[in-house]
Amino acid sequence: MSGNTDRAPFKTIHSWPRAILHLDADAFFASCEQAVHPELRGKPVITGKERGIVAAASYEAKARGVSRGTRLSDVKKICPDAVILPSDYETYSLFSVRMFEILRRFSPDVEEYSIDEAFVDLTGLRRSFHGPYGMIAKKMQETVEAELGITVSAGVSLSKVLAKAASKHGKPRGLTLIPGGDIHLYLRDLPVGNVWGIGPNTAAYLGKFGIRTALEFARKDEKFIGRYLSKPYREIWHELNGRSVYPVVREPKTDYQSISKAKTFTPPSGDETFVFAQLSKNLENACMKARRYRLAAARLIVFLRRQDFRHAGVEMKLCRPTAFQAELYGPLREGFNSIYRRGVLYRQTGVVLAGLVAGDSLQYTLFDDAVKIEKLTKVYDAVDRLAGRFGKYTVMHAASLPTRLQAQHEGARGDVPARKTEQKLFRGENRRQRLAIPLLDIRV
C-alpha cells in the first residue's frame, strides 16, 4: 500500500459519537449442539444429516476443510471422524430467543438481525456500566457464554456497517473495536465486495473505477459517489466514513414487500398428494405471517425444486388482494398442476406472496362477495387465536394433512434430533409447545 493509502483520513472524527455493536454467534447451530451435548465439545460437529449436505459446521470441522453445502458423502472423506447430526431448529430458536434476552439486559435498543446476529446501540451506556464500550461488549460476550454455553464474536464501531466488519475480526470469540481515528486501519485490507450490502456485481462495477478495498471506496469524494452510485450505496459510503445512517431498529419488521415460505423435505418424493401437501403447508405459513402484519397479497408465486436442483415456477395475479388461504387454494392448485411432472422426484416446495398491500385499507368492489369475505375474516381470526394459544398447527387445512405422514426434515432412516427422540425437553417446555418458551437451563 502507498503512503497516501496508509494516511488516516478519519482523524477529525470523534472517537465515539455513536457506539453500535454487532454480535455474531460462532458456528451457531453446531455450537448449540455442543452446548446441549457437552461430550461433543472439541469434536468436529456437523448438522444437516437429514438433508444430505452440511447445514452448519463447528470450527473444529471447518479447520479440517469442511464447509457449508458440502455433500455428506464428501465429508466422510475430508473428515472421517466428523459427528454428523440432524438439525434441531427448535433448539436453535430457543438459544436465539435467550441470547436476545441477555442482550436486552444491557441495552433496550436491540435489533434481531437474524437467528444468530444482533445489532445493539450502546451509545451513552458507559456511565451506567462504569466503563468503556469495550468492557460492556466483553461483559455481553461473557454472559452469553456463561449462560448458554456458546461463544459469540462482537464488533463495536460508529455505524452498523463498520460494526459488522469489526465482528468478523478474530472469530471465534473475537472482540474488535473500531473508534473514529482507526477506521482506515480496518478498511485498507477489506475487499470492497466483503462490505455488508455490497454484492459481487457492485464490487465488479466499482472495480472498473479502480476501487478494490473498502478504504478506497470510503475515500472517494461525495461528488463521485452521487454521480455513479444509487442511494443504498451512498448510505454505505456514509457508514464507512463513520456517519451513522442506519438506526438500530428494535421493533420487528412490518414493511414487507413480499413473504416467501419454502421447505426442503427428505427423502425426496414424487407422490403428487404429498408434494402438494407440502406446498399447501407453505401457503398456510405465508398467509399466517401476512395476517399477523395485516397484509394482503395481489400476486401468488409457486415453485417446485427437483432432486437434481432444477426448479420450475409460475406467477399468478389474484382477483383481489387476500391473506386467506381458502381463497388461494384455487390458484395454488392451478399453478401446481402447470409445473408438476409425474415421475419426477421433488425435494422442495415454496410459495411467495407478492404485491403486498395493507389489508385494513382494502375496499370491496361490485364483484366481491362481501358476506363471504366477512365470514372468512371471522374464521381466520379464530384460527390465528387458536394457533397463538395452542400451537401453530392446531387447525390445518385438509390439503396440508399428508405432511403429518412424514416430519419435515426427517431422513429416510428416521433421523431426528436426539433431544426429540430422547424427550429431553428444556425446563418450561412441553411436547406441544416449545418455541415460545425462553431457554432457562440448558443443562437439564
Residues marked active site are found at 117
Closest CA to 117 of 159, 81, 67, 155: 155
Instruction: Give the DSSP H or E segment for 314.
Output: strand 311-322
C-alpha cell at 148: 448458554
Cα separation of 391 and 93, whole Å? 15
Closest CA to 197 of 313, 104, 113: 113
> Crossing angle for the helix pair 89-106 and 133-148, nearest 10 degrees?
150
Q: For residue 150, list its beta bridge partners.
A: none
Length of the chain: 444
Phi, psi (degrees; rounded to nearest 5) at 156: -125, 130
CB 272 within 8 A of CB 333: no
Phi, psi (degrees; rounded to nearest 5) at 173: 65, 25
Cα separation of 240 and 238, whole Å? 5
Q: For residue 263, list its beta bridge partners.
A: 349
Instruction: Give the DSSP H or E segment for 130.
Output: none
Residue type, 175: L
CB atoms within 10 A of CB 206: 22
Q: Where are the alpha helices (DSSP H) in 293-359?
A: 325-339
User: Strand, coil or helix: what is 91?
Assistant: helix
> Crossing angle for the helix pair 28-36 and 89-106, nearest 10 degrees?
100
Closest CA to 54 of 64, 67, 44: 67
